Amino acid sequence: MEIELKEGERLDDLHRNGFRIIQNEKLFCFGMDAVLLSGFARVKEGERVLDLGTGTGIIPILLAAKTKGEAFVGLEISRRSADMAERSVALNGIQERVSIVLGDIKKAGELFAPASFDVVTSNPPYMTQSHGLLNPDPDKAAARHEIFCTLEDVIAAAARTVRPGGRFYMVHRPFRLAEIIRLLSDYRLEPKRMRLVYPYADREPNMVLLEAVRGGRPRMTVEKPLIVYEAPGNYTDEIVELYGY
């Protein structure tokens, strides 16, 4: 299917099932964190998945390409991003499996039936409003800073919408790890898997991938580190595999 691109938009190849995605470089484009989250999340055949703050729909589209999940829903507050996500879904011909909902994460409990998803994912804003300078563009600012929702809002929404025994997957920054684990525990989402992402083997980690289970028993596995670059400009074999190059 051919989709008309609007001013400033481009088509990017996702290297999965021939899928492509519409992006606008003047807005917020997806990064490696979304790709890593789609590789870390486990979606079983027939499961229903909700992505909180889906942006241009990258995570539901990648998960639809990589897994046998039955249905994927992306919730997004930005009308411009949601519009691009909807057109990307149509472009890839996956409307029967992927849908985009325009709405607020803080109202996820009203938009969706309680405990109606097997899996919830999120690549939320990493920074509070006290961290760094806000981008003058509202969509870019909201993608990086907690303007429309806080970390607690995201975790609360996940706890409301995922079924007991269901899984919540999130990518975030290690400097907020203590806060993340505390909030997960407060909302009875038990951390079960964690993987730290390092830009180079001799650097500090700059991302953390987490899996939590609603009502799970206490026991967490810390997986081996994920290293992004072997040398400047050269991805490790695992990153190349994740990107599907």
CATH superfamily of 9-243: Vaccinia Virus protein VP39 (3.40.50.150)
Helices of type H across the chain: 32-40, 58-66, 79-91, 108-111, 138-144, 151-161, 177-186, 237-243
pLDDT digits (tens, 9 = 90+) for 92-132: 999 999 999 999 999 999 999 999 999 999 999 875 655 55
The span from the CA of 80 to the CA of 95, in Å, is 19
With 90 as the cut, is the pLDDT of residue 33 above it?
yes
* R_g of the chain computed on alpha carbons: 17
pLDDT at res. 144: 55
pLDDT at res. 202: 95
pLDDT at res. 4: 81
pLDDT digits (tens, 9 = 90+) for 190-238: 999 999 999 999 999 999 999 999 999 999 999 999 999 999 999 999 9
pLDDT at res. 136: 54
The rounded percent of the chain whose pLDDT value lies above 90 is 82
What ranges do the domains of the chain cover?
Answer: 9-243
pLDDT at res. 244: 77
pLDDT at res. 67: 96
The span from the CA of 89 to the CA of 91, in Å, is 5
Sorting pLDDT into bands at 50, 70 and 90, what band is 145?
very low
pLDDT digits (tens, 9 = 90+) for 7-19: 899 999 999 999 9
pLDDT at res. 26: 84
Full-model pTM: 0.92
Q: Which residue has the tokens 């670059």?
A: 229
With 90 as the cut, is the pLDDT of residue 54 above it?
yes
Q: How much is the mean pLDDT over the chain? A: 91
Sorting pLDDT into bands at 50, 70 and 90, what band is 243?
confident
